[in-house]
Amino acid sequence: MSAKSIQWSAVVQDVRFIALHQRKSRFAWSLMAVSLAYYLTLLIAAAYFQDVFRLKVWGVLNVGLLFALSQFVMTWFITIYYVRTANRDFDRMALAIADDVRSGRIGAA
């Protein structure tokens, strides 16, 4: 079986595919929006709200430094959260669809 012999329109209309597509897109794009907003806040605040960044919080450590360091934590959190969800749910859903395509249950010409 090759990619050419599959009816791809039938695959993308499969209910399970639509479910996978919707869930994964919504999940990935909302994580993208959240992380981008968080990062842009740092850029904009570093430029326009330097008074806030100067406030000392922990010894000489100020809001600006802690906010910059928190971007690392944010990045790790988003990466782990996404990968865990993808490994747990998306892979299983994708595999089920792929198996059906390979065995000709969906998308057979």
Q: Give the binding site for other proteins (CB under 8 A).
A: 2-3, 6, 8-9, 11-12, 17, 20-21, 24, 28-29, 31-32, 35-36, 39-40, 42-44, 46-48, 50, 53-54, 56, 58-62, 64-65, 68-69, 71-72, 74-76, 78-80, 82-83, 86-87, 91, 94, 97-98, 101-102, 107
* Residues facing residue 108 across a β-bridge: 6
* Residues facing residue 78 across a β-bridge: none
Q: Say how far apart CA 95 and CA 103 lie, in whole Å.
A: 12
Answer whether 21's CB lies under 8 Å from 91's CB. Answer: no
Please state the closest distance from residue 75 (CB atom) to other proteins, in A: 5
